[in-house]
Structure 1
Amino acid sequence: MARAVNTSRKSLNTAIAATLGLIMFFPVLWILILSFKSEIDAVRSPWQVLTAGWTMESYGAVQERSDYFKHFMNSVTISLGSTFLGLLIAIPAAWAMAFVPAKRTKDVLMWMLSTKMLPPVGVLVPIYLIFRNLGILDTRSGLVIVLMLMNLPIIIWMLYTYFREIPGEILEAARMDGASLREEVLYVLTPMAIPGMASTVLLNIILSWNEAFWTLNLTAAQAAPLTAFIASYSSPEGLFYAKLSAASIMAIAPILIMGWFSQKQLVRGLTFGAVK
């Protein structure tokens, strides 16, 4: 009897989870459907949209109007560059906070995290002026820097959490064997934190890829990523729903595919140290 109740509860939980998953995924599914419709059909009622004919003309129009590959490469460069630069800074910082005793480590971590609570628009004007004066406005390097700074608190927090799970005795043994600080970080600490570092990299690539505020305000044409590519289909003449949907699918498809194939690694890294 207990087993039957347990099975029923599992079935109910599965049904609830599937329903919530469908609700969360439905906007993406509807955008996918609209991308295969004509502009006339895309503004009709939902039933008329579903029964209308399917066409690839929106994808063809998007490809003719915009240089998708250029925007795609900008997104790849900015996402990977900001994540890699963030790791170079975050690994030593997280190591120092995790293994060098300090009274105010948690206060520093909370201060860093509090910077994420500041509305980006509050610092837009000074950052815009700094970038203009330095000549890095509308450049990939400029976006790499600003996205790295934006995600750096998250990178340090995640790495700090993973590093704290590594026994300090292992590092002490490496020091006794004559390992230098550089060798300790590169050959002892980093390999042991690979699952956590992998999830950190994946999460920050996703955050950088989806960032819209800074990419729309600090770029014009040369360094515009896929977020700007999508925004270009909102014009004073109105919204072209079918073309906007096609552009959105082309922009989110790479990151969705990457997230799908790396979901196990992402979940494993995010739950690292949660169960002892």
Structure 2
Amino acid sequence: MSHPVTATTSVPILDTLKRGVLGVIAWLFALLLFFPIFWMTITAFKTEQQAYSSSLIFTPTLDSFREVFARSNYFAFAWNSILISVGVTVICLLFAVPCAYAMAFFPTKKTQKVLLWMLSTKMMPSVGVLVPIYLLWKNTGMLDTVWGLIIVYTLINLPIAVWMSYTYFNEIPRDILEAGRIDGAATWQEIVYLLMPMSLPGLASTALLLVILSWNEAFWSINLSSSNAAPLTVFIASYSSPEGLFWAKLSAASLLAVAPILIVGWLSQKQLVRGLTFGAVK
């Protein structure tokens, strides 16, 4: 005797179907986002003549990479990017951690307004303050210097660092810090020995995000540097000329510029996801 299908048995089937559909959609979005990187990679291994063809069948060559290394000092640009990214990350965290600590554990009536004001500065178009900053940097001797770019990038990314740190610190139980105060811990000891170890996943993801944002910043690096402090974003822009775009060389230069940060992001993706979801589920 056959038994009718009940609603209880149909629920797992619907859940499985829903997860399958969502999985397919997620993969489609992932492939769509990855396609420009894929196309840039294969174009980098083509000749200039082949670069204008959409064919996926070609004989790979390293000629574009050889010409890029012969024309530019890639490692000097890469070293500037490393110095700028690491410097911005360290300085941002040095300012953001105590700032977020004060806002999270000693809030005032103006704390939320200050946070919103800091976030609103990200909405201001960069081109609106380019001229005054350019003149200020020129008059103070910071134009085309690594420290000049570090200061600008720090001012740009500090609101994000404060907001993320503040969010993570809000998830830390107050009782633990109060116990530390009872035991005689000073403020800096609370931050270093209690707060930072408990929020390490969140701070690690903040640091990774700051490195990525600093590495990818192009507007200010192109306008405030030329040779001495030029990072990899200027290195890529140098392959755009009035005579036209040489797609194979441009793709090779772009691949050399994005490869380090892609590798770092790929290796640290678990830590990044863990940090970004830190405190999301209690």
Aligned match of 1:29: 38
Which of 158, 161, 164 is residue 158 of structure 1 equivalent to? 164
Aligned match of 1:94: 100
1:190-214 deviation line (CA, Å, top 9, x unaligned): 1111111000000010000000000
CA shift at 1:185, angstroms?
A: 1.3
Q: Hey, what's the Cα distance between the residues in 2 that align with 1:7 and 1:192?
A: 36
Aligned match of 2:259: 253
Q: Hey, what's the Cα distance between the residues in 2 that align with 1:3 and 1:96?
A: 48
Report matched runs for 1:24-63 at 5 Å: 24-44=33-53, 46-47=54-55, 50-63=56-69
1:227-250 deviation line (CA, Å, top 9, x unaligned): 000000001111000000000000
Aligned match of 1:196: 202
Return the letter of the residue paired with 1:102.
T
**Number of residues of Structure 1 aligned to a counterpart in Structure 2:** 273
Q: Hey, what's the Cα distance between the residues in 1 that align with 2:160 and 2:18?
A: 36
Report matched runs for 1:137-216 at 5 Å: 137-216=143-222
CA shift at 1:181, angstroms?
A: 1.1
Length-normalised TM-score, structure 1: 0.97
User: Which ranges in structure 1 are unaligned for 5 or more consecutive residues?
Assistant: none
CA shift at 1:12, angstroms?
A: 2.1
SS at match of 1:51: coil
1:98-148 deviation line (CA, Å, top 9, x unaligned): 111300100000000000000000001111111111111101111111101
CA shift at 1:13, angstroms?
A: 1.9
Return the letter of the residue paired with 1:144.
I
Return the letter of the residue paired with 2:47.
S
Return the letter of the residue paired with 1:173.
A
User: Which ranges in structure 2 are unaligned for 5 or more consecutive residues?
Assistant: 1-9
1:31-70 deviation line (CA, Å, top 9, x unaligned): 10100000011112x13xx223211100111011011100
1:65-103 deviation line (CA, Å, top 9, x unaligned): 011100001000000101101111111111110111300
- Correspondence 1:119 to 2:125: yes
Q: Hey, what's the Cα distance between the residues in 2 that align with 1:147 and 1:54?
A: 38
Q: Hey, what's the Cα distance between the residues in 2 that align with 1:230 and 1:130?
A: 26
Q: Hey, what's the Cα distance between the residues in 2 that align with 1:13 and 1:107?
A: 38
SS at match of 2:206: helix
Q: Hey, what's the Cα distance between the residues in 2 that align with 1:53 and 1:190?
A: 52
Length-normalised TM-score, structure 2: 0.95
Return the letter of the residue paired with 2:232.
L
Larger radius of gyration: 2
Aligned match of 1:273: 279
Q: Hey, what's the Cα distance between the residues in 2 that align with 1:228 and 1:15?
A: 38
Return the letter of the residue paired with 1:232.
S
What is the alpha-carbon root mean square deviation over aligned residues? 1.0
Q: Hey, what's the Cα distance between the residues in 2 that align with 1:134 and 1:174?
A: 45
CA shift at 1:9, angstroms?
A: 2.6
Return the letter of the residue paired with 1:202.
L
CA shift at 1:2, angstroms?
A: 3.5
